[in-house]
Structure 1
């Protein structure tokens, strides 16, 4: 039934291979927990689901991990109920662990500028792989892309005659993101040395394009060249920086939500955090005694 569930997620929900792998791992962990109690996921009750949560908490699993696994279990049990395999849905009766949402790690505008400048300088010097890397980071920061969206870009997505780019994101949903002048220049230069391809960033991988892990390693190396700590820089950190810098400069939150491809505005609201320097400046400019 787990195989049937994963097939349904792939066909009806357009789940990506990465998402399906995560579901498979999470349900395998639940199955192992159920086996310890002498049952199976198909026959699990509310007590088995809550016990799974307690076991994860006891092992020190992060609340985010607990919630992700619980979500997989709930969807699976709901699938069994819809298919008539069982006559109840025990997952619906289990509350999710509460979590506090931490502020995202970001880079300042100056730090992003150092990163982009280092990428451009390496490309101009003709360092191996630098032209591709410059195109990657320019596109990432210009549009706030998810790393999977970036590395899997089709060649036709960035167009020299357009300032916008169509992105196919989670659940095959499409959205439009900006394509800056610097990004277009970096893409044009990369295409010139890359040659024809249906992928923007082709590679000898299972998918035919650059893996997100390979790009993350390149980004760490670029961070060192830019004088930044490598552990502070990742593809998702640049996505966070894109959103935070827009909000800090007055961008409408609904626009940022659309650019990021967030389904829920609550997910985007985390970018409304501001630094102490900005708070001090607002008080100085706006307070009667400022």
Structure 2
């Protein structure tokens, strides 16, 4: 074969060249695939028998690349950052850790972000961050569906994925953010107990847990706010509970810092619990606990779902023949619903919940329409007809 026929050719970013071994042409031809276009982020070579086959393979790869670029919205001649998603994620987490240290973000949120990133990096460990487009994001969603993840989990991971990519874009590593469609989530039905049902549930709980559950239901605080509440946060004179930033606890938002009025009877119950806890500690020669609702061994509570489920079952509170699903968050929604039914305006309800003024979340997520409310709004046309006929008959008799 002549020297001219052995010359390499470029087909877009792909190079077609003779396969040389020990200084001689082996007769085969190769197609060089650059690292940033290879699925594993490493240089790849396709070996073919003839130059014609190699050129055809390079043209096929070019067409696929152009199609992928058009579909992903990245274009063909995109910038390559040379930085992997793993490296970007590490730097992003370091920056988020600084935000936690300065009180701008909660540690629990950072922990959750790290857990989500593990799943994302499992799919894109060595992928160049600039090569991630809409197609790759859709492939990730498909992968998570196939392994059995629910829509809410996948959407949360996708949202974090975009957040990291947006950070990379701010650093000049990504030119354009991909557009991603969220996976539709089924509407989750949440039933809240009535005040009468709640009183039965409280009767089914032990004294210590009943006080905590009553506190959650009457104040509507988040469970982390209740679990980290200290006696210093209780003002028995003015019957107020203060939700404030403290060591080991950062409020969810700036609107979460608030003072919540409590009922006189709840204040009395908390005062009695404080005296009992102090007397028990003195008798045992220990330091009185700082937490209002400590765990079994004096530390922070973790979960009371099991105690709630047992009390609901014992109180026989059911929905559609099944025990009512009750959690601290449902108690928060129950309080919002009860106050809404009583006619409490959003301007008073939102500060109690720690929501921003004018937030749409209060009514769209927290206030629930109860079966009793819907029953009161039932239209009975037959009853209307009977009333009309009765009135007409009475008029004729008269």
Using the size of structure 2 for normalisation, the TM-score is 0.60
- 1:104 equivalent in structure 2: 190
Q: CA deviation at 1:191?
A: 1.1
- 1:127 equivalent in structure 2: none
- 2:223 equivalent in structure 1: 147
1:223 aligns with 2:312: yes
Unaligned runs of 5+ in 2: 1-87, 245-250, 279-287, 388-398
Q: CA deviation at 1:82?
A: 2.5
- From the superposition, tell whether residues 182 and 83 of structure 1 become closer, same or farther in structure 2 (CA, over 3 Å): farther
Determine which of 106, 118, 143 is the counterpart of 1:16: 106
Name the CA distance, whole Å, in 1 between partners of 2:118 and 2:354.
Answer: 30
Determine which of 96, 99, 120 is the counterpart of 1:30: 120
Name the CA distance, whole Å, in 2 between partners of 1:179 and 1:20.
Answer: 32
When you count helix as a share of all residues, which structure comes out higher?
1
- From the superposition, tell whether residues 218 and 193 of structure 1 become closer, same or farther in structure 2 (CA, over 3 Å): farther
Secondary structure, counterpart of 1:244 in structure 2:
helix
Q: CA RMSD in A?
A: 3.0
Contact 2:334/2:367 (<8 A) preserved: no
Determine which of 205, 229, 240 is the counterpart of 1:164: 240
Report Cα offsets for 1:64-112 as digits up to 9, x if no partner: 222211121122122222334x133525x22333435434231122211
Structure with greater contact order relative to length (CA < 8 Å, sep ≥ 6):
1
Contact 2:165/2:174 (<8 A) preserved: no
- 2:277 equivalent in structure 1: 194
- From the superposition, tell whether residues 4 and 202 of structure 1 become closer, same or farther in structure 2 (CA, over 3 Å): farther
Report Cα offsets for 1:20-40 as digits up to 9, x if no partner: 2211111111111224xx626
- 2:174 equivalent in structure 1: 87
Q: 1:204-215 counterparts in 2 under 5 A? A: 209-213=299-303, 215=304
Determine which of 54, 57, 64 is the counterpart of 2:145: 57
Secondary structure, counterpart of 1:170 in structure 2:
coil
- From the superposition, tell whether residues 283 and 219 of structure 1 become closer, same or farther in structure 2 (CA, over 3 Å): closer
Count how many residue pairs are aligned between Structure 1 and Structure 2.
Answer: 271
